Structure 1
Amino acid sequence: MNNKLLLALCASSMITFSGCTTMASLAGADTQTLNLSATEGFNKTLQEARSKGTLDTSSSTYQRVNAVFNRLRPYADQVNQTGVKFDWQLAVLKADTVNAYVAPGGKVVVYTGIVNKLGLTDAEIAAVMGHEMIHALEEHAKSKIGAQALTDLALGIGLSAAGVGQGASAAAQLGSQIGIGLPYSRNLESRADQGGLMLMARAGYDPQAAITLWQKMNKLEGSGGSFLSTHPSNAQRIQAMQKNLPAAQAIYKAR
């Protein structure tokens, strides 16, 4: 397929993201390589957080997030179709930042601010976690990298990703390497929304909490929450989740 045509299709979400993930692999971001790079970056994030005293391993917030994480993990493994077993790991960072993200291969980073500032319930934490896990399980970061590589190719500037300054934190560098700073397409966000609903339901969390989570997120609009910058929250997304809620509720109630 012509590269410019594939770029347009990736950007408009008119086809599945397989073309973009193929382009990512050609650009050196195949599953194994991407997961390894993410692991190295995640380990640097852990080391830096430990040295600065910002790695949370004992607070009540950490305990709640970790409990949700561990409860979702086996269900996430059940739907892993990447062909590579994930080594799921969690880092809870002490910061007022309202954000959470997942790196390829199952490296989850949650800032305490998203839990504490929003007053999240355990089920709402599961909605955040499920959403992020689906991004990893469906390799959405690879799709973003592939789309960016195609953009670079179309503009004639090569396939190298933009770096970050040496003074940037390890977490920022990790985010840059795997495209965390790039917004997901509406299609990928929708997939993560709907997949996250089903994942949290399978783990025994009421999927209705995904609706209340995004309602809380909507109230933050205009306050500069970084989670909103990469996870656009709007009424249309909530409406889409409400349409899929009956199916998720059926899974939840059948447990």
Structure 2
Amino acid sequence: MNKTLVVCALSAGLLLAGCQSVNTTSGGAVGVERKQYMFSMLSTAEVNQMYAQSYQKTVGEASSKGVLDKTSNDAKRVQAISSRLIAQAPVFRPDSAQWQWEVNLIKSDDLNASCGPGGKIIFYSGLIDTLQLTDDEIAAIIGHEIAHALREHGREAMSKAYGIEMAKQGAGALFGLGEGSLALADTVAQYGMTLPNSRGNENEADLIGLELAARAGYNPNAAITLWNKMSKASNGAPPEFLSTHPASASRIAALQAAIPKVMPLYEKARKS
């Protein structure tokens, strides 16, 4: 099976899966305008509901272990910073004003944080303790994670996975392929779709997170100091939650290039 047939099969799979081209957010000052392909039968509400169940399980387990932190100064910091960022989310996505946002701090040495579909935020205390984070740097992390939720990167990944499976099945049926050819299709799909998009999604989250922080009155330059701390703490590679790829000069350069676009928003927020 040559590359042309693989591409055709993948395209057919996406079409059969009922994918539609959407843009989940406005571009903002940072100009994130990429169209996304979503499986139309996998709705935003369904994905949000699925994740909410998983989130409540995680929070419940943390509570039962006595590591769910609701009262410490750091818990109050994370809550307050998140609230300011959440208030800016409708700039990119108006319907996020109706999301059932939740924010929780878990006591753990893990350098980890997330914001799942529908606005479910978890922050791990290890980030604050190990990296000695400022409020601006906490905002950079949470803004990045909120951006993933606003852009529905989780739903997008699920849609792509479905499309790939459909493509594999369709290719096998149409061309009578054996296991070896389908393995090739897997490889092409992984490196031609999943990994580049993963890097692209991280870049989108970097940029939108930068603008969210600026609009909320947090210094966007903290994104640079944060990355430097991350690299130092993990021997040049950031925690997995930020990227499956090392922090690179090009990534920091992209943030630095975007900072002038959002600085007026930061200055305006500071004066208000």
Relative to the length of structure 2, the TM-score reads: 0.73
The correspondence for 2:119, drawn from 106, 125, 128, is: 106
Q: Give structure 1 regions of 4+ aligned residues with deviation exceeding 6 angstroms.
A: none
Secondary structure of 1:117's aligned partner: helix
Secondary structure of 1:92's aligned partner: strand
1:195 corresponds to which letter in structure 2? Answer: I
Shift of 1:3: 5.3
Residue 244 (structure 1) aligned with residue 258 (structure 2): yes
Residue 102 of structure 2 aligns with which residue? 89
Secondary structure of 2:218's aligned partner: coil
Q: Which has the larger radius of gyration?
A: 2
Indicate conservation of the 8 Å contact 1:81/1:137, yes or no: no
2:216 corresponds to which letter in structure 1? Answer: A
* Alpha-carbon distance in 1 for matches of 2:238, 2:92: 34
Residue 54 (structure 1) aligned with residue 60 (structure 2): no
2:261 corresponds to which letter in structure 1? Answer: A
Relative to the length of structure 1, the TM-score reads: 0.77
Residue ranges of structure 2 left out of the alignment (5+ in a row) = 1-6, 15-32, 171-193
Indicate conservation of the 8 Å contact 1:207/1:249, yes or no: yes
* Alpha-carbon distance in 2 for matches of 1:18, 1:224: 26
Deviates more, 1:80-89 or 1:203-212: 80-89
Indicate conservation of the 8 Å contact 1:189/1:231, yes or no: no
Indicate conservation of the 8 Å contact 2:237/2:247, yes or no: no
Indicate conservation of the 8 Å contact 1:96/1:111, yes or no: yes
Residue 131 of structure 2 aligns with which residue? 118
Residue 200 of structure 2 aligns with which residue? 187
Change in 2 beyond 3 A, CA 1:81/1:70: closer
* Alpha-carbon distance in 2 for matches of 1:241, 1:223: 17
The correspondence for 1:18, drawn from 36, 39, 49, is: 36
* Alpha-carbon distance in 1 for matches of 2:96, 2:75: 30
The correspondence for 1:209, drawn from 205, 216, 222, is: 222
Percent identity between matched residues is 38
* Alpha-carbon distance in 2 for matches of 1:51, 1:63: 21
Shift of 1:79: 2.5
Residue 4 (structure 1) aligned with residue 10 (structure 2): yes
Indicate conservation of the 8 Å contact 1:97/1:225, yes or no: no
1:92 corresponds to which letter in structure 2? Answer: L
- In angstroms, what is the RMSD of aligned CA positions? 2.8
* Alpha-carbon distance in 2 for matches of 1:5, 1:236: 31
Residue 73 of structure 1 aligns with which residue? 86
Secondary structure of 1:211's aligned partner: helix
Indicate conservation of the 8 Å contact 1:221/1:228, yes or no: no
* Alpha-carbon distance in 1 for matches of 2:248, 2:43: 32
Residue 200 of structure 1 aligns with which residue? 213
Shift of 1:30: 1.2
Deviates more, 1:105-114 or 1:76-85: 76-85
